[in-house]
Structure 1
Amino acid sequence: MRLVYVFDAYCGWSYGFSGTLREITGRHPELPVEVVSGGLFVGPRRVPVREFGFIKGANAQIHETTGAVFGDAYERLIADGSFVMDSEAAARGVAALRQAAPHRAADLAIAVQNAFYLHGLSLSDPGTYRTVAAEAGLDGDAVTAAFTGPPTVDAAVADFQRAARLKVTGFPTLIATHGEINTPIAYGHATPTQIEARLAALSVAEEAHP
């Protein structure tokens, strides 16, 4: 069994899910985790945040539900409503970090979201990925070069296509994969206890039908 985590770095509910994801991956180091970026803010949705009147209310709900904290720097970044969330750029950044340390993809995805939602760093800025890479002990120059190179554009498109093939319609979605069978075990929000129960049930099913 392995896990597929489909998220968007600019998705507040994905940010709220970070604590659960960290706990589950920490409890189950034996489970490989594939991180796939979704395309939440692309095309006509790539507009200034003032166009999304629901963001402040959604953030309050995310905090109440998950305990996730939105940093002062983030609040300042979006305060005038002009900031544009570009999920294609964010997916390129995640791909650049993932390329540098594939086995740490889940932790790096969390770090990217912290950079935005805690520290108010734009995920369209190459410097953001240099910072995330340095804090993770990775080669910041290599990650930054990858972010600005054509291959990460292809990687972002491939991620969006992968999410579509998995029939993901919202973020975050956590999927347990066994062979050709994909079983969603979390959508939007779930506690570690809930996910543990679902993983246990799947393990029993696997043993019954290897």
Structure 2
Amino acid sequence: MQLVYVFDAYCGWSHGFSGTLNEVASRHPALPVQVVSGGLFTGSRRVPIREFGYVQGSNAQIAELTGAEFGEGYERLIADGSFVMDSEAAARGVAALRQAAPAHAAKLAAALQRAFYVDGLSLSDPATYRKVAEEAGLDADAVVTAFEGAEARVAATADFHLSASLGVTGFPTLLAVDGDSVTPVARGHATADEVDRRLAALRTP
């Protein structure tokens, strides 16, 4: 069995789920976690953030429910409403980080979300990936080169297709995959204890 975490780096609920994912991963070190970008803001949804009027209210709800932090850097970035969340660029960054350290993909995804939601760094900016890579002890030059390369674009598209093929319709979604069996163990929000109970039920014959 493995866990497949389908998220979007520009999704506030995914940011809120980071703590749960890290706790689940630490409780089950032998359970691999595959991180997949879902592609929330692509195509016609790639517009200035002001067009999503629910963002501030939603973030307040996420913070209250999960304890997730929304920092001053983030508030400054989105203050005038002109910032465009581009999930394709973010997915390329996830792919570049994932390639550099596959076993740490979940922690790197969380670090990327902190870069945006706490520090207010654009996930379209190569400098953001340099910072995240350096802080994780990775080869920052290699990560930035990968982010800007063709392979990351292919990987991002593959992630979006995989998300759709798994039937994921909202982010974050955590799936337990065992052979051909795919079972959601969390959607939107869940505690680590809730995920544990659902995993235990799957393992009970």
- Identical aligned residues as a percent: 69
Residues 45-103 of structure 1, C-alpha deviation per residue, up to 9 Å, x if partnerless? 00000000000010011011111110000000000000000000000000000000111
Shift of 1:162: 0.2
In the alignment, the residues of structure 1 paired with residue 180 and residue 49 of structure 2 have an alpha-carbon distance, to the nearest angstrom, of 39
Query: What TM-score, normalized to structure 2?
Result: 0.99
For residue 35 of structure 1, what is the amino acid of its counterpart? V
Match of 2:5 in 1: 5
Say whether residues 1:117 and 2:117 are aligned partners: yes
Q: Secondary structure at the match of 1:142?
A: helix
Query: What TM-score, normalized to structure 1?
Result: 0.97
Q: Secondary structure at the match of 1:63?
A: helix
Match of 2:47 in 1: 47
In the alignment, the residues of structure 2 paired with residue 14 and residue 88 of structure 1 have an alpha-carbon distance, to the nearest angstrom, of 16
Residues 146-182 of structure 1, C-alpha deviation per residue, up to 9 Å, x if partnerless? 0000110000000000000000000000000111100
Residues 124-155 of structure 1, C-alpha deviation per residue, up to 9 Å, x if partnerless? 00010000000000000000000000110000
In the alignment, the residues of structure 1 paired with residue 74 and residue 203 of structure 2 have an alpha-carbon distance, to the nearest angstrom, of 40
What does 1:86-97 align with in structure 2 at a 5 Å threshold?
86-97=86-97
For residue 90 of structure 1, what is the amino acid of its counterpart? A
In the alignment, the residues of structure 2 paired with residue 97 and residue 16 of structure 1 have an alpha-carbon distance, to the nearest angstrom, of 20
Match of 1:139 in 2: 139
Q: Secondary structure at the match of 2:114?
A: helix
Count of residues in Structure 1 that have an aligned counterpart in Structure 2: 205
In the alignment, the residues of structure 2 paired with residue 91 and residue 192 of structure 1 have an alpha-carbon distance, to the nearest angstrom, of 25
In the alignment, the residues of structure 1 paired with residue 124 and residue 7 of structure 2 have an alpha-carbon distance, to the nearest angstrom, of 17
For residue 122 of structure 1, what is the amino acid of its counterpart? S
Shift of 1:29: 0.6
Say whether residues 1:14 and 2:8 are aligned partners: no
Q: Secondary structure at the match of 1:41?
A: coil
* Structure 1, unpaired ranges of 5+: none
Match of 2:153 in 1: 153
For residue 58 of structure 1, what is the amino acid of its counterpart? S
What does 1:88-107 align with in structure 2 at a 5 Å threshold?
88-107=88-107
What does 1:34-73 align with in structure 2 at a 5 Å threshold?
34-73=34-73
Shift of 1:7: 0.1
Q: Secondary structure at the match of 1:17?
A: helix
